[in-house]
Structures are given as C-alpha cells and as structure tokens.
Amino acid sequence: MFVDAHTHFWKADGTTPYTWFFSEVRQDKYDWWIKHFRNVDVPEGGLEIDVDYKVVEKALRNDGVDRAVVFAMAIPGVQYVSNEYIAEGARESKDFFIGIASVNPHDPKADEQLEHALSSLQLKGLKLFPIIQHFRPDDFVLTDRLYKKCLDHNVPVVIHLAAEPAEMGGIDPLPFPAWSRSRLIYNQATYIDEVSYKYPDLKIVVAHANYGINVSEAAFLCARRPNVYVDLARFGDRYQYAEEIERIPPEYRDESLYCAYRAVGIDWVRRKFEEDFRTLLLYARPNRVIFGTDFMAISPKWYRQKIEELVKDEQIRRMIFEDNARKAYGI
C-alpha cells in the first residue's frame, strides 16, 4: 500500500486572496499550475476556487496513491476548511481519505468542537498550526484539553513545524500574504518536546519536519521521544519546482523563486534535499519518517521516485511509504 499522509482539498469560500498555498507560479495562476503540473481538474480562478475531494482523489489515484490523510484547517483570516467537509470527503471516498480535524486553540469551544469531530464526524486526529494560530504547543493552559481529547480517543495530534517566505508570487511581496502574519517564535521544536515529555502516550506527528528552518531539530526530537514521528510534506517541493520551473511561461512563474534557482543552481537544491532527507533517516530513524506531499505541493509519483533513488532497502521503503503512517494514524 502507498499512503500519502499529508494532503488537502478545500472550497473557495474558505480561501482568501492571500492564503498560504505556495507553488512555483504567481498566486493568480495557481489554478493553471495544479491543472497542468498536478493533473487536478479545476476551474479557472487563481486561488479562490473549489478544489474538491473528488478531483483530488482522482489525481492521487492516478499517481498510484492507495490511501491519503487529509487535513481540516482552522486558521483565522487565512484558510478555513471545515471538519464537516473533511468528514464528507472521507465518507464519500469510501475511506480513501483519512480525515484529520482542526480547531483554533484560542476558541473557548475548541474542546467541544474537537469532541464532535472525533465522536460524531469520525475524524482520526487533530491538526494544529502554532506558527499561524499564534500559540505555543506547550502552553498547557490552552492546549491540555485538546491533547487529553486525543488521548481519550487514541488519535494523534499533528503539529505544523515549518515556515514559508512571505514573498510569494513575484519579486514584489503581496500586500498581506498569509505568512507575513506567521510568527517564528511559535515554530520551535523544543515546545513540541515539552508536549511529548508530558504526554508520552500521545502520538505526535511533526508535519514538514521543520524544513527550511532546522531539520536537525525535528530529527533529534524524534530520536529523543518514541511517541514522535515526522512527515515529509513539502520537504522536497523546492527540488521538484527546480526541475519544473523552466517549463512555466515567464509571465506565470514566481519570479522571486526563479531568481533564487538561478543564484544557487539546481544541483545545490538537489544536494540540499538529499542531505536533509538523510539527516532525518539517520537521527529520526526510518521507523519514524512518514511519506507525505502536502498535495498539491508535490507530485506523489515524482516524490516516491526521488526517495526510492536514495533508499534501496525494501523494508525501509515500506516503513516510509506505508507502515509508519499505519502506526501513527491507525490505518
């Protein structure tokens, strides 16, 4: 079984013009890009389009994916994908999608929302976004009630640990891009370490492995705590974009990213990916690394091929592409 343990779908009414889906094109060409480079059949409309579960399931299956973990998003003023819509996608796909809830920890009713998502909607975990929801994962006055709910239901908590540049879509920054509202002070592996220490029986997935900031911290977090996993979502996106960007019309592409590639060279981008990936395998260990793409960010087929070029052992491949996701998400 091939599991993509980090994917998304959404409705247009939950997006904003400055939402955070980063790619290699201008944001107003995002619809064109996912249609031509990720084979997702969507209408025109830049970012403000429906990318529903049916077209995402079709695209993932065409890339060989057998099951996929998909996340709700409760991020005020940036991106909202409801728990109900994620549950609908999981149900209608006949469990191709494993749905994960999201709540805003600052909401006084967050624990009630989570209980409803886990009990009534049958979602299988909780996703938190400290960097953009503006909280410390180890602020237990705020988060204890949520972690205890996850323990009661024996489901994992997935904690976003990574950041993106605020400048997206061209040389000039967008007026108020989502990531300009993010705060790196909340993006600390040490805070998650405190959670894993206090709750040794709570399964924790560190989403994105702190790529672009400090992969080693995420790796050592796993090395210290047997209840912590990391996923590879977006981990290789700059590498795939580097291979693709010359095929994008100049008037469509993200010019700031293109300039960066010209400055450092694609060979360095590839070497950086390989070095960071091997760091994760060495210190986090292969039994804690979970395959995920953040689809549409990366093509699952392309990503699997690149990982298989680095990992020849079939047992380790099976851990990354299937077994670890099964353990973390109870698949």
- Confidence at residue 50, expressed as pLDDT on a 0 to 100 scale: 84
Q: What is the DSSP string of 136-166?
A: -TT-HHHHHHHHHHHHHHT--EEEE-----S
Give the Å distances, CA to CA, from 213 to 54, 130, 324. 34, 15, 24
Give the Å distances, CA to CA, from 98 to 140, 152, 154. 27, 19, 15
Torsion of CA 241, 208, 14, 99, to 10 degrees: 120
Q: What tens digit of pLDDT does each residue of 186-215 get?
A: 999 999 999 999 999 999 999 999 988 889
- Give Cβ neighbours of residue 105 (< 8 Å, ≥ 6 apart): 128, 133, 135, 139, 142, 143, 146
Tokens of 40: 């997702």
| DSSP helix/strand/coil, 61 | helix
Radius of gyration of the chain (CA): 18
Give the Å distances, CA to CA, from 262 to 29, 32, 271, 306. 22, 24, 15, 22
Residue 126's DSSP bridge partners are 101, 157
Mean pLDDT of each 10-residue bin along the chain, 331 residues long:
96 68 75 90 77 95 98 85 97 96 96 98 97 94 98 98 59 51 87 97 96 90 94 93 92 87 93 96 96 95 98 98 97 90
Cα–Cα dist 136/182, whole Å: 13
Cα–Cα dist 288/227, whole Å: 9
- Confidence at residue 17, expressed as pLDDT on a 0 to 100 scale: 57
Cα–Cα dist 316/331, whole Å: 18
- Confidence at residue 22, expressed as pLDDT on a 0 to 100 scale: 62
**H or E element in which residue 36 lies:** helix 30-37
Tokens of 196: 């894993």
Q: Does this model's pTM top 0.85? A: yes
**H or E element in which residue 98 lies:** strand 97-102
- Confidence at residue 169, expressed as pLDDT on a 0 to 100 scale: 41
- Confidence at residue 18, expressed as pLDDT on a 0 to 100 scale: 54
CATH topology of domain 3-329: TIM Barrel (3.20.20)
Position 274, amino acid: E
Strand 204-207: give its sheet, edge to edge. 3-7, 67-71, 97-102, 126-128, 157-160, 204-207, 228-231, 289-290
- The domain limits of the chain are 3-329
Length of the chain: 331
Cα–Cα dist 133/131, whole Å: 6
Number of H helices, E strands in the chain: 14, 10
CA-nearest of 183, 7, 155, 226 to 78 is: 183
- Confidence at residue 127, expressed as pLDDT on a 0 to 100 scale: 98
Torsion of CA 27, 186, 162, 274, to 10 degrees: 150
